[in-house]
Amino acid sequence: MFNKNKRTKKFSDLLIPGIILIIIGIVFAFQGIRDYSKLNGDLLNLNTASEKDLDAGKYVEIDVDYAFYSFCENVETTNYVFKRTTDQYYLISALKDNEYYIGLNIAESKKSELEALSDYTWSQSGADPGTLHYIGKLCKSDSEIMGYMRNYIYDMYESAYDITLTSTEKATLDSYMLPYYIKIMTKEGCRTSIIIGLVVLGLGILLIILGIIRHKNTVYGPDIQPEPYTGAYGNPTTPDMNTSMNSGYADPNAQEPTTPFSDNNTSEATTSGLDPDTFDGDGTSSFKLKD
């Protein structure tokens, strides 16, 4: 038998993280390559497309002429205390004649142009930033995002025209709200994703190689178990000095030593080799060897 448990654990300590990194790297690299390829292909133009052309997952492009500020945002909370906004959903017009409303998802750090366009669209304030061109992926809006967009458009119309919308008017507005949003993407972002994926993939492969090298260079020794001392279990063939000296137990079969002065009511003192008849009545004795 060889003790491999400890060595195997060390090998798995590198193998498992390596496999995890390889999977993560493949996912990042695959997504980056796929998106980069799609963005360089034929894109659906949302300025000329019809409503029936829309479908989640399509890669699109759009020239934005009108923007109406952000109707919702994603907030990241750390340790239940620290909050930061990661991205915004801006309301823009799309499709032919800009008749429909759609969401535009953009990172918080890249919203300045859309904010400026919203100022110019809404109040004609500030400089005209001109037409903004974006490419990205069309995503299906969930019920929460649609709810925010719907309420925002209701409030926008009521504030702009100082009215209270009727249920019929709200239903009419609903028909112009597209259940999608555009997730802004860039070719630079795709290349970054590919690089990150390849780096993580390389680290995973390196960990596995190191684990294999360590595993091959390991020399196993025999797993020898010490044999128990038999005397501790009362083996009759092995003297147990500790037991006989410390336990106080006397073996009933053991013969007590005999001296010339022992009185054991026997007629023989064969152990000492002395004749018991040599003792006188007054307790004195004259020793002689037995015949």
Q: Which residues contact 181 (CB under 8 A, 6 or more apart)?
A: 89, 102, 103, 104, 105, 138, 139, 141, 145
Q: CB–CB of 145/72 below 8 Å?
A: yes
pLDDT at residue 269 in the model: 42
Around Cβ 121, how many Cβ atoms within 10 Å? 19
Q: CB–CB of 57/138 below 8 Å?
A: yes
Q: Tell me, what amino acid is at 95?
A: L
6-20, 46-60, 95-109, 141-155: which range is least confident on average?
Answer: 6-20
Per-residue pLDDT averaged across 77-100, rounded? Answer: 86
pLDDT at residue 92 in the model: 95
pLDDT band for position 178 (50/70/90)? very high
| pLDDT over 80 (residue 224) | no
How far, in whole angstroms, is CA 257 from its chain's centroid?
A: 77
Closest C-alpha to 139, from 35, 51, 59: 59
Q: CB–CB of 117/131 below 8 Å?
A: no
Distance, CA of 10 to CA of 183 (rounded, Å): 44
Q: CB–CB of 212/19 below 8 Å?
A: no
Q: CB–CB of 211/7 below 8 Å?
A: no
| pLDDT over 70 (residue 95) | yes
Q: What is the DSSP letter of 285?
A: B
Q: Whole-prediction pTM value?
A: 0.64
pLDDT at residue 261 in the model: 45
Per-residue pLDDT averaged across 186-202, rounded? Answer: 90
Per-residue pLDDT averaged across 231-253, rounded? Answer: 51
| Structure tokens given for 164 | 């209270």
Q: Which residues pair with 92 in a beta bridge?
A: 67, 102
Q: What is the DSSP letter of 131?
A: -
Q: Which of 161 and 234 is assigned the larger pLDDT? A: 161
pLDDT at residue 168 in the model: 95
pLDDT at residue 11 in the model: 58
Distance, CA of 197 to CA of 23 (rounded, Å): 9
DSSP 103-156: EEEEEGGG-HHHHHHHHHHHH--S-----EEEEEEEEE--HHHHHHHHHHHHHH
Q: What is the DSSP letter of 268?
A: -
Distance, CA of 184 to CA of 195 (rounded, Å): 20
Q: Tell me, what amino acid is at 54?
A: L
Around Cβ 180, how many Cβ atoms within 10 Å? 22
| Structure tokens given for 183 | 């997730």
pLDDT at residue 235 in the model: 53
Distance, CA of 163 to CA of 156 (rounded, Å): 10
| Residue written as token pair 């020793």 | 287
Per-residue pLDDT averaged across 27-37, rounded? Answer: 90
Distance, CA of 40 to CA of 47 (rounded, Å): 19
Round to the nearest angstrom and report the end-to-end CA distance of the chain. 68
